[in-house]
Amino acid sequence: MTKLIRGVVALLILMACTPAQATVKILATTSDWGALATELGGDRVSVYVATSALQDVHQVDAKPSLVARARTADLVVATGAELEIGWLPVLVQESGNPSVQPGSPGYFEATAQLNLLEVPSRLDRSLGDIHPQGNPHLQLNPHNIAVIAKALTARLAAIDGGNAEYYRQRGDDFNARWTQAIARWESKAASLKGIPVVVMHRDQVYLCHWLGLQEVAAIEPKPGVPPSAGYLGQLVSKLSASPPKLILLNAYNDAKAANWLSERIHVPVVTLPFSVGGTPEAKDLFGLFDDTVNRLQAAVQ
């Protein structure tokens, strides 16, 4: 009996010392939201990311494997503002999971927490792939991440009340580290303000707005529309007269048009990670901004 009691006591001690198992299954639509969920959720969450940083999130197949993930998820973390309109609605509907349907506590959209840039005054498909609710590519302004982190912390606490204080502590810790990092990035990038740049797609808007970069042209004539030879020729004429300092390319972009333009106007192409995992250095959210600022600084120097 004494041995039995000792065994039970030992087991209880072991259980008390063992970290809690993940209780919240999260399906994130992008690596950025997956990284943020991991920062805030720690060992209380299990995160699966539906896309990679080298993938165009506009164009994703709602594969059976993703449907299966949505079927067992407790929380879907999406960008929103119709960025995933081509596949996420099908995914959550086909999953049959009532917990992650839009409007439920288990469905979280990052764009719903902010006022978006570039909200169109009129909707016309001739204008290209525009988003009615505004530009959804908001992850490259770290101040946006701070707002979203606060809201996501509250959502985790709401759906997993038993670990609410744990999430709040992690949220506070992340906010403290993130605030310090923002100050460091903004100090380092101060010299970039006003530098004229060319972008590929309308997904660098928040980065330019944050750092004060001056966007003078886009390689896509309209959002989501590939450039024609004639349009590229017009860009060469325009930009040769008043050259930008940099051509910004995202890791997931096809570099052909950017390189073609670079050769003719003699302006360097800077490939930025755009999302966590876009470059080897962008291993997490902190690395994403470290590498973005470092690459921009190296290019102008």
Query: CA angle at residue 69 from 173 to 174, to 5 degrees?
Result: 5
The average pLDDT across 118-129 equals 69
**Residues of the chain with pLDDT > 90: what percent?**
84
State the average pLDDT for the chain. Answer: 91
Give the residue-averaged pLDDT of 184-197: 98
Q: What is the pLDDT of residues 146-159, one digit of tens each?
A: 999 999 999 999 99
Q: Which two tokens stand for residue 279?
A: 């470059």
- Strand-pairing partners, residue 76, are 27, 107
Q: Which domains does the chain have, with CATH numbers?
A: 24-185 (3.40.50.1980), 190-300 (3.40.50.1980)
Cα–Cα dist 148/281, whole Å: 23
Question: pLDDT, tens digit, for every residue of 98-107?
Answer: 999 999 999 9
Report, as an integer, the average pLDDT of 270-276: 98
Which H/E stretch holds residue 229? helix 229-241
Using 50, 70 and 90 to split pLDDT, how confident is the model at 124? low
Residue 142 has pLDDT above 80, yes or no: yes
The C-alpha atoms of residue 218 and residue 235 are separated, in whole angstroms, by: 9
263/247 Cα distance (integer angstroms): 11
- What pTM did the predictor assign? 0.90
pLDDT over 70 percentage in the chain:
90
Closest CA to 216 of 272, 277, 267, 148: 267
Q: Left (φ > 0), alpha (ψ -120 to 50) or beta: where does 41 sit?
A: alpha
End-to-end CA distance of the chain: 75
> Which residues have C-beta within 8 Å of that of residue 114, sequence separation ≥ 6?
138, 144, 147, 148
pLDDT in tens, 22-65: 699 999 999 999 999 999 999 999 999 999 999 999 889 999 99
